[in-house]
Amino acid sequence: ANIELVNSLYTTFCNLTTEINSKRNKRNEITKIIKQTKLKESINELVEQARVLKDEIQKAELELGKIEKEMLQEGLKIPNDTHHEVIVGGQELAKVVKIIGTPLDSTQKRGSIIKDHMTIARELDLIDLESASNVTGTSWYYLRNAGALLELSLIQYAIHKVISKGYTPIITPDVVKTEYSDSCGFQPRDGEVSQNYYVVTSPTGSVGTGNHQETSFTLTGTAEIPLAGIYSNKIIPLSQLPIRMVGFGRSFRAEAGSRGQDTKGLYRVHQFSKVEMFCLTSPEESEEMLKEIVNIQEEIVNDLGLYYQSRRLNIRYKSPLSSSYEGTNSDAKQKQQSTEFVHTLNGTAIAVPRIIIAILENFQRDDGKISIPEVLRKWMGGMEFIE
């Protein structure tokens, strides 16, 4: 990130915008005078002045578009601030913040060899990677039988869990304009391969995948992106904050990771279902909202019995009036209010494939059956076991 360059481009952008607005106002004044003038010679002279101003405005607007594009490209390189509790350093400095759930005691542990989720899935006919590989390619999959029901039950459970906390349920589109994906930070850095699938519409109307320069649409990498887009370029009254949303959508990741033991099966795939929490708050409320999101995530892990982004989107809110302001005129009050950027917070309620892995591997029994977490059973027709 080059902060000085961004500042310089922004200054140029502001000056050019002011110049354009000034010329527009001048042209509008000339237009009014033309309507009131009766002398032909004067009208011709004024028309010529208006024409020159129009040409100057068009050239300046083209230059402004170039400046704005470069400014945004450079600005997107600037990372978000890091949370004050994040440790600076590598994985070796990571620490355990909290352990959720209770490990199995000796009486609950199985005597047989623990199977991985793909072994279990093949034995119980839950996942079909081979057919998906033929139809679509590697790192895609079919869920079958109880595997399909398990995904649907996890989605239903997560949505109902989170809306019970006051969140608005939303089913999001799986295709967004690339500008929204970029604004949420889903863009490759220098030397990295893009995680996005880009959509290209040809003159004949056919659709395919292409690179970032050829397209204006992308498949969503997470429901966070279309959820954030709902309030893009809007000013929200402070009284409406915080805004809590929970979205369900498909997530698409072009690079699913290298093939190997740690990425096989459902662990890293090109498409998966996800229930995502997304909140907008004032800066003062964001820390408490973060805690709320984490608490919900902890409840979900416990319920299942497991042991285990705003400035770019231009979403603002109106801050309270200064205490020193004593006016009564509503227009004056409106002008006295400042607009500030909201804080956006998101947290995954459930990323379906990884929870399926955890359920299959943690709840396998010696008789080959899989115990279904009690909170999911009502959405699986009352089934207690996958067998």
Task: Look at phi and psi of residue 382 and say left if phi exceeds 0, alpha if psi is from -120 to 50, else beta.
Answer: left
Cis peptide before 242 (omega within 30 of 0): yes
Q: Give CA–CA dist 219/177, Å, rounded.
A: 9
Determine contact, residues 227/245, Cβ cutoff 8 Å.
Answer: yes
Binding residues for ATP: 253-255, 269-272
Q: Give CA–CA dist 384/387, Å, rounded.
A: 10
Burial of 130 (0-12, 13-18, 19+ CB in 10 A): exposed
Helix H or strand E encompassing 332: helix 330-336
- Identify any residues that bridge with 169 across adjacent strands, giving them in sequence order: 246
- Extract the tokens encoding 258: 């290298």
- Alpha helices, DSSP H only, in 76-140? 117-123, 129-135
N-term to C-term CA, the chain? 54
Strand 271-281: give its sheet, edge to edge: 168-171, 243-252, 271-281, 343-351
Q: Give CA–CA dist 272/304, Å, rounded.
A: 19
What distances in angstroms separate CA 291 from CA 6, 294, 296, 299, one per listed residue?
Answer: 34, 5, 9, 12
CB atoms within 10 A of CB 139: 23
Binding residues for L-serine: 222, 253, 276, 346
Residues with Cβ within 8 Å of 368's Cβ and at least 6 positions away in sequence, in order, are 123, 124, 387
Q: Give CA–CA dist 296/154, Å, rounded.
A: 15
Determine contact, residues 289/281, Cβ cutoff 8 Å.
Answer: yes
DSSP single-letter state for residue 364? B
Calculate the CA 11 to chain-centre distance: 30
Q: Give CA–CA dist 144/147, Å, rounded.
A: 5
